[in-house]
Chains A and B, each alone.
Chain A
Amino acid sequence: MKVQLERSFPMPAPPEVVWKMLQDVELVAGCMPGARITERIDERHFKGTVSVRVGPATMTFRGDIEVQGLDAATKSLHLLGKGTDSTGTSGASMDLTASVQGTDAGSQLVGKSEVSMSGKAAAFGSRVMNTVADQVLKQFADNFALKVQALASPAPASAAPGEVASKTAPAGAPLNGLALLWAILKDWLRALFGKSAA
């Protein structure tokens, strides 16, 4: 089963600021806890794991991640991830495009993702996956917006995007495919920094 999500979240700061923050490894990491990079093959290819946890259910996916593109001009990136769960009975693949766009209010973070599940997870997870994907994206954007706001104050940010999310995303929030991709983004940027520092 596929979960297609396109969500945009108002960001209380100009696009440049948000884009810059999007490149702030620690900040991104803080917003999206969880995923782990186990191996860096080259600057575009990684191996990682991510745990999806919903209530009593937990699934751990091992997978390959490929950075398909990062475009500073359009402030957008495109990532691809494929993985199989530890029991070998489910598969997941994720395709994400994230970009920062300018708006009158400031900017918005646009996340466009397709998470597709195979096997057991698809058969039994349909009631779960949509909600999880949605919740995690909301949670990420919420946390991210709050950080952006904190940094880019005084401009008071609309709590709108956060409101639902903070209600629906429990502490130690579960991750879904998106989490993995954000984590990859984090690691990929770290790689960039590494180079520029050298």
Chain B
Amino acid sequence: MIPRPFEYHAPASLPDALSLLHRYGEEAKLLAGGHSLLPMMKLRFASPGHLIDLGKIGELKGIRQVGGEIHIGAMTTENELVWSKLLAEKVPLLVEGARLISDPQVRYKGTLGGDIAHGDPGNDHPALMLALDASFVLRSASGERVVPADGFFQGLYSTRMEANEVLTRIQIPVPSAGTGWCYAKLKRKTGDFATAAAACLLRTKGGRVEFARLALTNVAATPVKVRAAEQYLQGRPLDDGAIAEVARLAMSVCEPTEDQRGDVTYKTAMAGEMTQRALRTAASRAQ
């Protein structure tokens, strides 16, 4: 469990990081919290020639409100999300999700940006980001672009982030007051990936759904935004029938792979079950 040799770089500023990234290209890997990359390196599955540690770059940290959005630095840690009063008030879904990630020590090191950029469908933030209509600020030597979470996740470990880009900031539109939320996650034990999980935002008006977002974790090669369900719910009362139909729609987009957590049938069923629970809880929290 020893990584292969590599060169280590700890740029003090974003421009420095970008020029290093430009210099080493495919040879380089960005090091955020390290709890996905370092284990892979210790198993010698991954052996980058150069590690660029983003840990010393202050501008990549912090949580603040900018107009109608919450801006979170990519290097903000899970525990910082868990403990953020601003998030608890404005984006409680993110706090609930972060609390269910791995274990305390990992949450001190693990970062929001790293979790997203890794492109692992087993990570929790990708689905949370889809549910929150978040967008990602990607910086490269040639400039900056803002990419919506929807469409960002392309495949297993593959995203729309280019090799020369750094994810610097996550931008989340503050859900309007009264929006209910829930991240329902089923896992075998602390520190495990989800067997299946569902992230949901829900707002109702006069007993009918006015706004709904639903995304799933670890039931396909990418996190899945369940569009059909979001559309179906529009303007409907959230009765048992509707909830059952949404679960059915969620299950219909699942393409999980069998592993120690369960077979395809179980994981698909759990995606449906987590969806139902997320919906009911979100509804109970909506005003």
Contact = CB atoms under 8 A, between A and B. Distances in A.
A135 B222 CA distance: 12
B29 interface: yes
A170 B45 contact: no
B234 interface: no
A56 B48 contact: yes
Contact of A126 (B36, B44, B47, B259): B259
A96 to B, nearest CB: 20
A58 B45 contact: yes
B156 A55 contact: yes
Interface in B132-160: 154-158
A7 to B, nearest CB: 14
B45 A57 contact: yes
Contacts of B223: none
A130 B255 CA distance: 11
B122 interface: yes
B43 A56 contact: no
Interface in A16-69: 54-59
B167 to A, nearest CB: 15
Interface residues of B, number: 25
Contact of B154 (A59, A131, A167): A167
B125 interface: no
A173 to B, nearest CB: 9
Contact of B157 (A56, A89, A120, A169): A56
Nearest to B261: A127
A128 interface: yes
Given A87-B44, A126-B257, A127-B259, A55 B157 contact: yes
Contacts of A184: none
A120 B259 CA distance: 15
A123 to B, nearest CB: 9
A176 to B, nearest CB: 12
Interface in B225-279: 257-260
11 contacts: A55-B118, A56-B45, A57-B40, A57-B157, A58-B45, A120-B43, A130-B258, A131-B155, A132-B156, A135-B155, A135-B156
Given A56-B40, A59-B45, 10 more contacts: A54-B156, A55-B157, A56-B29, A56-B118, A58-B47, A126-B259, A127-B259, A131-B155, A168-B154, A168-B221
